[in-house]
Amino acid sequence: MKLKLALFAVMMFGLTVLTGCEPLTVLDPKGPMAERLASDIMLTMLMMAGIVIAVFAMLLFMLVKYRASNQPADYEPPHIEGNPWVEGILVGIPIIIVAILSVVSVQSNYIVESAPTGYEDKEPLVVYASSSDWKWHFSYPEEGIETVNYLYVPTDRPLEFRLYSHGPITSFWIPQLGGQKYAMNAHVTTLHLAADVEGEYMGRNANFSGEGFAENKFDVTAMSQEEFDEWVDEVKDTADPLTEKKFEELLEPGHLGRMTFTGTHLEFSPAPEHHEKGDKYKDGHEDKKKHDNHSASKKESSEKEHMNHNE
Residue 257 is a binding residue for other proteins (CB under 8 A): no
The torsion defined by the Cα of 140, 280, 291 and 306, in degrees rounded to 10, comes to 80
With CB under 8 A as the rule, give the number of residues binding other proteins. Answer: 101
Q: Which of 31, 168, 263, 270 is close enough to bind other proteins by CB under 8 A?
A: 168
Q: Which amino acid is at 228?
A: F
In terms of residues, how long is the chain? 311
* Binding-residue pattern over the window 72 to 111 for other proteins, x denoting contact by CB under 8 A: ---xxxxxxxx---xx--xx--xx-xx--xx-xxx-xxxx
Residue 177 or 266: the one with the smaller Cβ distance to Cu ion is 266
Q: How far is CA 122 from CA 71, 125, 157, 191, in A?
A: 72, 9, 6, 16
In sequence order, what DSSP letters do the residues of 243-277 get, joined into one string? Answer: -HHHHHHHHSSS----EEEES-GGGTS----TT-T
Residue 238 or 293: the one with the smaller Cβ distance to other proteins is 293
Residue 74 or 311: the one with the smaller Cβ distance to Cu ion is 311
CB within 8 Å of 236: residues ≥ 6 apart? 143, 144, 145, 262
Q: Which of 22, 121, 237, 311 is close enough to bind Cu ion by CB under 5 A?
A: 311
Task: With CA atoms as reference, report the closest residue to 220 among 271, 126, 155.
Answer: 155
Contact call for residues 254 and 235 (beta carbons, < 8 A): no
Residue 187 is a binding residue for Cu ion (CB under 5 A): yes
258 binds, among other proteins, Cu ion, none (CB under 5 to 8 A by kind): none
185 binds, among other proteins, Cu ion, none (CB under 5 to 8 A by kind): other proteins
Range 38-67, binding other proteins (CB under 8 A): 38, 40-41, 44-45, 48, 51-52, 55-56, 58-59, 62-63, 66-67
Contacts with Cu ion, residue ranges (CB under 5 A): 187, 306, 309, 311
